[in-house]
Amino acid sequence: METAPAIPGELLSRLAQFGRLHILDTTTSTNDYAFGLAPAREPAIVVTRHQTRGRGRFRRRWFADDGSLLFSLLLFSAPGSPELAALTQLAGLALCLAVERVTGQKAQIRWPNDIILDNKKLAGILCETRRDAVVVGVGLNVNQTAFPQSLNDAGSLRQATDRAWDRFILLDAFLVEFRLWLDRARKGDMQACLKAIKDRSAILLRRVEVRSFLRRSVGTVIDLDSDGRLVLRLDSGRLVLLSAGQVRRLR
């Protein structure tokens, strides 16, 4: 259900520069809603207060409440567009830079799709594609003062700064940064993008455990490749490329 936005007209106009804006009270998933808009063949931004079926990677349920910023950005493939894994890293970079620009807090990317602040999970990113439609979904913990006990690794901007933040200002900052870095990637400047991503990495040159459905890998992260894959040197010395997994830093 669409609702009238209680945000300034000037900010609404800036947001609308990035695509048709859909502000909802409740939806099943902003990613699914965004894909439903794909036949119109125009970029769109979907923002909601509540999701009834919000999800992360591997279709895990994503926790969100009134303190969350929940949105999806609908794009379409273009020449030079990065692969989905690299797009996730670009979105992570844009979100880190947006958070720093608005709040002064320096967040980091925990490959492949988490944003952390003070070792707490601040945000999750889910990029998906259907034909040439691409959706970048983001859930950012903004104004929560507490989380369920089962989410003891979660944190919010309010907890980190002891003040509330305007979610639409954070959205605006993300869109500005994301468009900047996506344009650079599409124009062939992926090396500059990779350098910025690596500068924000929480795991580069760290010893980690990476778990996927089929295997567990332990080693040191030595690089990220241009497709957003993790280059891991296993304890055995062998190098492996990983495109997905659950990462845990080891001491």
Range(s) within the chain of domains with CATH label 3.30.930.10:
9-199
Cα dist. 237→46, 132, 184, 234 in Å? 45, 39, 34, 5
Distance CA 75, CA 135 (A): 6
User: What's the pLDDT tens digit per position in 54-95?
Assistant: 665 545 566 778 899 999 999 999 888 899 999 999 999 999
More confident residue, 135 or 59: 135
Confidence of residue 6 (pLDDT cuts 50, 70, 90): low
Is the per-residue pLDDT at 4 higher than 50?
no
pLDDT at 56: 53
CA angle 83/180/178 to nearest 5° reads: 60
Read off the pLDDT of residues 179-203 as tens digits, 9 standing for 90 and up: 999 999 999 999 999 999 999 999 9
At 225, which amino acid appears? D
Higher-confidence residue of 146 and 63: namely: 146
**Which pLDDT does position 5 carry in this prediction?**
52
Mean pLDDT (the chain, rounded): 92
User: Which DSSP symbol is given to 17?
Assistant: T
Q: DSSP string spanning 82-109?
A: PPHHHHHHHHHHHHHHHHHHHH----EE
Give this prediction's pTM. Answer: 0.93
Fold observed for domain 9-199? BirA Bifunctional Protein; domain 2 (3.30.930)
Contacts of the segment 207-215: beta carbons below 8 A, 24+ positions apart: 207/249, 207/250, 207/251, 208/232, 208/247, 208/248, 208/249, 208/250, 209/247, 209/248, 209/250, 210/242, 210/245, 210/246, 210/247, 210/248, 211/245, 211/246, 211/248, 212/242, 212/244, 212/245, 212/246, 213/58
Residue with more model confidence, 109 or 56: 109
pLDDT of residue 164: 97
Q: Summarize the confidence of residues 125-153 as an average pLDDT.
A: 94
Beta strand ranges found along the chain (DSSP E): 20-27, 44-51, 68-76, 108-110, 114-117, 120-130, 133-141, 207-211, 216-224, 230-234, 239-242, 246-249
> What mean pLDDT is predicted for residues 165-174?
97
Q: Which part of the chain has CATH 2.30.30.100?
A: 207-249
Six token digits for residue 121: 């999970």
Classified by CATH at the fold level, domain 207-249 comes out as: SH3 type barrels. (2.30.30)
CA–CA separation, 148 and 17 (whole Å): 37
